[in-house]
Amino acid sequence: MIKAGVVGASGYTGGELIRLLHTHPDVELTVLSSRTYSGKTIGEVFNSLRGLSYQFEELTPEEIVSETDVVFVAAPHGVAMEYALAADAAGRKLIDLGPDFRFRDAVLYEQWYKTPHSCPHLLAGAVYGLPEIHRTEIAQAQIIGNPGCYPTSIILALAPLVEAGAVVDGFIIADSKSGISGAGRKADAAYNFCELTEEVRPYGVLHHRHVPEIEQELTLLAGSKVKALFTPHLVPAVRGIVSTVYAWIKPGYSLELIRGLFAERYKDEPFIRLIDEGSHPGTKAVAGSNYCDISVDFDAATSTVIVVSAIDNLGKGAASQAVQCMNIMFGLEETAGIAGLPLFP
């Protein structure tokens, strides 16, 4: 059994990790770390997990690493670096669900997150944890930078096109809508019911921190610079992301050829579902799952492709994708513990 620990276990993503890892056939949960709820049982913090015997603790990184084979860090930026140093020293694996190990360039991280990177020497060996793109590298990695939820939905929506060199000038536009759980489990008036019900609100316009992450990965796939214009929105839903992505396509492509790129690229991917022509994905069809649903439309008059993707921001956008990475890192069946179908309605 793989011994797993979760740092930041009392947040929404932490709770989702607990739910998945508790029933994983190859995992034993040995540490649940939370400074806020240290000493409390899991059922006192998550009503949905009543009856489980876990208790939150506050331990040092060295103590957590000593009790685990893999540590999941579900905490704000800057937290994972300390745990990564301890994991590296002990030869343990770490999966960071924050941004500390998503970037290959420490300067880029520091520019966007306004925080010094305390272990830039570990970035060269860290792998961006998107299995559909970096499966081979993930299998050999000790540290994973789990992708952001928005970037997951956008990169998967564009990978077949940028790999084929089909996008004009490497320029894409992404318009994304997310449920409120993506903002985290915190007391903030901006995210309470009265503020967000019957409201759709853009934020981070032109300067969202996920932009460099999106551009980094799409540029690697394209082999040349990709620029992204990204606008996220909060919608009055608990969970789920829909991203509508626009790109101008080079001459010679038809809808049939473009759909063929997607069908070929994702034919062996267990968690990518290409939607039938004329249909489009929505958040309810992926809720509680690790699936990414994708539709493709093409306007020949303007040479514009419109790709719509849907994921659960706490699932494929966070916790279940992290478990997928863990499965690959330890040579397990990739779908182990995360093969459940979506919840509906």
Which positions are catalytic? 149
Residue 265 vs residues 168, 270, 273: alpha-carbon distances, Å: 20, 12, 11
Nearest to 32 by CA among 88, 77, 72: 72
Looking at residue 275, the DSSP 8-state letter turns out to be P
Report the alpha-carbon distance of residue 172 to residue 158 in Å, rounded.
9
- Cβ atoms of 312 and 20 within 8 Å: the answer is no
- Measure Cα distances from 321 to 147, 153, 286 in Å: 8, 12, 13
Give the CB-side neighbour count of residue 234, counting CA atoms within 13 A. 19
Among candidates 131, 128, 161, 164, which has minimal Cα distance to 145? 128
Q: Is the separation of the CB atoms in 10 and 45 below 8 Å?
A: yes
